[in-house]
Amino acid sequence: MSNLLRTINNLTYHRFDINDQDEFKQISKLIAIHLSEPYSIYVYWYFLNNWPQYCYTVKNDKSVIIGVIISKIEPHREVRMRGYIGMLVIDPEYRKMGIASNLVKLTIENMTQDNVDEIMLETEVINEGALKLYESFGFLRTKRLYRYYLNTHDAYRLILPLTDKAHTRIAFLPQLPQEQVT
Ligand SMILES: CC(C)(COP(=O)(O)OP(=O)(O)OC[C@H]1O[C@@H](n2cnc3c(N)ncnc32)[C@H](O)[C@@H]1OP(=O)(O)O)[C@@H](O)C(=O)NCCC(=O)NCCS
């Protein structure tokens, strides 16, 4: 089965192939080199094994992976579906060509189809490129997380609301008495 999703400017966009060990190795290497936060192999496997449908890669004409986005979707407090973008990396040789934008767009399109209510992520407060990229899609800065990363940098939490449910502030709602819960 081909995992090819689309071809843009001679680069091919694919859905992750869970049976391809080489693809897994290429992805983990690309992320380990270019993301500031060191992730263990178990973190990659957690995402890729549980949500292979939410990992998209970009390959060059030599079939080498030069870009990847890894996400998941899960119910949040049993009232809404939350998408989460865990990692996004483009090989420096291929940056500023719109590749990350294409991957984020693909992720938003697929999460929308899967009835996701909001998409969340964190990024370093000093990562101007990533902030510009996500804010161009409508992501909003909702929190500053003090010393969130191992390198002691703060993070911004960004959220893209997709449906009205995203605006429900469930944390502040009173709990129903037990006898009323059916
Ligand atoms: C951030 C990153 C993913 C951007 O990838 P990219 O393919 O170069 O991004 P795009 O070409 O799609 O850029 C889209 C928009 O993002 C913004 N942007 C991207 N890189 C930027 C930079 N270095 N400085 C300022 N703005 C930038 C711009 O607004 C750009 O639109 P424009 O080209 O019309 O100005 C890439 O630089 C990267 O892999 N960085 C290291 C890992 C990382 O920081 N990941 C994100 C962590 S959450």
User: Residue 129 pLDDT > 90, yes or no?
Assistant: yes
* Cα–Cα distance for residue pair 25/6, rounded to 1 Å: 22
Cβ neighbours of 34 (radius 10 Å):
15
- 36 Cβ below 6 A of ligand 1: no
- 149 Cβ below 6 A of ligand 1: no
Share of the chain above pLDDT 70, in %: 92
- 157 Cβ below 6 A of ligand 1: no
Q: What is the pLDDT of residue 174?
A: 35
Q: What is the pLDDT of residue 2?
A: 62
**What ligand 1 atom has the least distance to the C-alpha of 127?**
44
DSSP 169: -
Q: How confident is the model at residue 175 (pLDDT cuts 50, 70, 90)?
A: very low
Task: Give the torsion sign (CA, 39, 41, 44, 45).
Answer: negative
Q: What is the pLDDT of residue 76?
A: 84
Class for the domain spanning 4-180: alpha beta
- 106 Cβ below 6 A of ligand 1: no
Q: What is the pLDDT of residue 29?
A: 93
Residue 9 falls in which region: left (phi positive, over 0), alpha (psi -120 to 50) or beta: left
* Cα–Cα distance for residue pair 139/123, rounded to 1 Å: 12
Whose Cα sits closest to atom 1 in ligand 1?
130
36 against 1, higher pLDDT: 36
- 131 Cβ below 6 A of ligand 1: no
Written as one letter, the residue type at 45 is W
Q: How many CA atoms lie within 13 A of 46 on its CB side?
A: 9
Q: What is the pLDDT of residue 78?
A: 78
- 88 Cβ below 6 A of ligand 1: yes
Q: Which of 88-102, 112-126, 146-160, 165-179 has the lowest mean pLDDT?
A: 165-179
CA distances from 49 to 55, 64, 104 (A): 10, 21, 20
* Cα–Cα distance for residue pair 88/73, rounded to 1 Å: 16
Q: What is the pLDDT of residue 181?
A: 32
User: Residue 16 pLDDT > 60, yes or no?
Assistant: yes
Cα of 111 from ligand 1 centre, angstroms: 21
- 34 Cβ below 6 A of ligand 1: yes
Whose Cα sits closest to atom 26 in ligand 1?
129
User: Residue 47 pLDDT > 90, yes or no?
Assistant: yes
Q: What is the pLDDT of residue 177?
A: 35
Structure tokens that stand for 32 in this block: 């380990």
User: Residue 45 pLDDT > 60, yes or no?
Assistant: yes
* Domain extent listing, the chain: 4-180
